[in-house]
Structure 1
Amino acid sequence: MRFPLYASVLTLAILAAGCTSHVTNQQQYSGFLGDYSELKATESPSGKPTLRWISPDYHDADYKGVVYTPVVYYPAAHPTARIDQQTLDAIRSYTDTQLKHAISQRKPLVTQKGPHTLVVKTAITAVSAENEGVQFYEVVPIAAVVASTMAATGHRTQNSALFLEMEALDAQTGKPLIKVVRKAFGKNLPNNSAPITLNDLRPGIDEMVRDALTFPAQ
């Protein structure tokens, strides 16, 4: 399911009082993974909340190599007043480079699908700026909504965040074996007009990569 646009929501999150959500909610799923029904709330190796599913048929020792698919934006990203195309490209490139290196530390990267091989696919599904302490949202670039309610709170400090969806499949059967949906926070932004940069998001990206290196094997 793609992100419908609401005047007062970010990526389908319903406007409500409360703390900033630390995990992706069901309304924010991009559709990249297809089926999200078996995802369970858990913790990443670094202790951060995440959503994950591991097939009972997956046994890490059975797989000797990984066909790595470059990170994409899903849906396609478009520049806005807060994030230009150069920054979008830099965020995707940095995430891709770091994640590819992390996965290569776990298993050898291969170019051909074959027996005992995983295919890893990853998408950045949103880059967001969220007001601290309340559920006012602005998504960049996927939903690109500037809510009218933001005008009254324009000077509130915001959290920068990146949404990531990833899956690993058996290369021969195409059967999904691992699914992860993760929301990682970067640096704070001073207000709702401050540009979002790679430097803002880098801490969150790096944290996710470290978690990929220490992902629990079965």
Structure 2
Amino acid sequence: MAQLVNGYLLFWPGSPGNIKIEDLSQSSNLRIMSNERAYGWDFMEFKSNIPLDNEDHGILSPPYLYKIMCRRSGPRVLLLSTGKKIVDVLIEKEINTTLSPNLRPAHLKINDLVHLIVKSPDRYLLTSVYCRTPAYGADLQSLSMFGDDVGNAELFREIMDRMTAYRCGLGRLRDRKEIVRLGSDGAISFFWENERRAKEVESTLNYLKNNNLIETDWNEVLK
């Protein structure tokens, strides 16, 4: 059954080499789930004394356990879970208290990505676009657009040069099914289903890397 997962693309600045799962799991609140490693992904269990995923206090009691999905490549890592707050707390309160230098989110050039896809839709299309609209001042500060192919809409093409996109959804060109949503702050969300979906998400990140749309030292294709 598909499950929505949220998290970040991060990098380890000044890393002496490949980041290891042991580097990420030094906290006593993290446990490597070694028996669940699959198609290049690692899984960890995160133990928290406070609820992070809208749990009912009257039914559940601490500790609260959360599954963490992790994909590593060189000094870069994807960290995902069933809620963005889980990953925020995981990074700030657990991983970055034991890892030095700290993990940092990658900057994704979403506005450039949107323009690239509109002009050259060879692999992907836009299923959603979130934009700031500085050209309109305080009268109109932001816009959100959704559809099967936002970049193909005449209205969007007419106004896109007066907007700055900071988040978007990417879908497959062949069947218009959304693959992943990406944010300029490195945020990533998608429906975790199977190996094919995991590989599709990795492929979209490689597409960004190959088009110089990731601002880190991301120089290797995910393997």
Q: Same fold (TM over 0.5)?
A: no
Tell me which interval the TM-score lies in, with the shorter structure as reference length.
under 0.3
Name the TM-score, length of structure 2 as normaliser.
0.24
What TM-score results when the alignment is normalised by the length of structure 1?
0.25
Bigger Cα Rg = 2
- Whichever structure has more helix as a proportion of its residues is 2
Per residue, is there more strand in 1 or in 2? 2
